[in-house]
Amino acid sequence: MLVRSIPIRALGLFAVLLSVGLFTAGRVCGQSLLSRLKWQRTIEMSEEYFARNGRALKPLAMEALGVRSDSIRGWLASFLPEKDDSPAEAPDGFPLSAVKAIAFEDLEEYRPVFERTEWAFLGNTTLTPIDTMITREIRARMEYHFGPPTLTLMDQNLMDKRDSTESIQFEYWFLLNESIPVYVLDVNGPWDRGVVIAAPSSYRSILAEIKDSLLRQLIRSGERKPYADYYYNVQQELWYVTAFDGASFFDVRIDRPVAEPARPNLQSYVRAGTRPQ
């Protein structure tokens, strides 16, 4: 036979080369075939799963992952004193047991109290709703809650002073808790924002709390009432009647008003764009 004529040494070398070639080819072919079999099995298992459960997967519930900071936070907390975790009630600000708005007719009765008081003032210095609200809107809401102002521009004997450049447009006088005099003032006119509040200087540190307790109802309810006031615009050097008719705000340019009556009649100016004859 042909095999017997091949030398033993050559036959051994041929066997080695053949085994290496078969091993290499088998490994490459085996990997390719194995990959295809795995992929085919994956497809079959997927189809079986989708047939049982549908193709939309249900989301799993969220699970907090443990991180190193969790243990560090607990370790640091162990050095802190124990504290009450029960929720604390939010402070209600300055407590008001009584609010008396002083009418113009009662002015002289309370004037001595207000004149001998040393005042501290707080303006529209924050971004609270009352400080960012248009002053004419505040005026309409105060008219609803407290009635007409204690004093308006023309109530201050302006015609005798012959000066309107630094005049307060309106003043509300209050007596809080039966003993604390408080002013609420419009010092910049109806087109500005906010109002100024004044209280005895001994209450300076809590003046913001007093302002919030007194005026927060203006924000909560939003109720308004019609009014009409004289207004002097310093920059324009012009006089107006500024008013709210129950539906809208408006201004009517006028000549310098006479001393009487001190407060304009709203109905005379309700017709928009016309001045009374």
Q: Confidence class of residue 214 from pLDDT cuts 50, 70 and 90?
A: very high
The amino acid occupying position 181 is P
State what percent of residues in the chain have pLDDT above 70: 70
| Percent above pLDDT 90 for the chain | 47
Question: Of 1-5, 151-155, 200-204, 261-265, where does the model show the most confidence?
Answer: 200-204
The whole-number pLDDT of residue 37 equals 78
Q: Look at residue 61 and tell me whether its pLDDT is greater than 60.
A: yes
What is the pLDDT, as a whole number, of residue 260?
72
Distance (Å, whole) CA 252 – CA 242: 7
- Quick one: pLDDT at residue 39? 79
Peptide bond before 190: cis, by omega within 30 degrees of 0? no
Q: What is the pLDDT of residue 77?
A: 67
- Other C-beta atoms within 10 Å of 269: how many? 21
Q: What pLDDT is attached to residue 162?
A: 43
pLDDT at 23: 45
Tell which wins on pLDDT, 243 or 51: 243
What mean pLDDT is predicted for residues 93-116?
94
DSSP string, 63-110: -PPP-HHHHHHHHHHTTSPP---SPPPPP--S--S-EEEEPGGGHHHH
Q: Greater confidence, 3 or 79?
A: 79
Mean pLDDT of the chain: 79
Report the pLDDT value the prediction gives residue 63, as an integer from 0 to 100: 67
pLDDT tens digits, residue range 33-49? 777 777 788 888 877 77
Span 255-267, average pLDDT: 83
Q: Is the pTM of this model over 0.75?
A: no
Asked if the model's pLDDT at residue 28 lies above 60, the reply is: no
Position 201 scores a pLDDT of 95
**Confidence band of 125 (pLDDT split at 50, 70, 90):** confident
Q: Residue 151: what pLDDT?
A: 93
Q: Please determine, for residue 246, whether its predicted confidence score (pLDDT) is greater than 80.
A: yes
| pLDDT band with cut points at 50, 70 and 90 for residue 147 | very high
| pLDDT for residue 275 is more than 90 | no
Which residues neighbour 230 within 8 Å (Cβ) at sequence distance 6 or greater? 152, 153, 154, 239, 240, 241, 242, 254, 257, 263, 264
Domain boundaries, the chain: 7-46, 99-269
For range 143-161, the mean pLDDT:
80
Two structure tokens written together for 44: 């079959």
Could you tell me the CA-to-CA distances from 130 to 49, 64, 158, 206, 210 in Å, in that order?
63, 44, 28, 17, 13
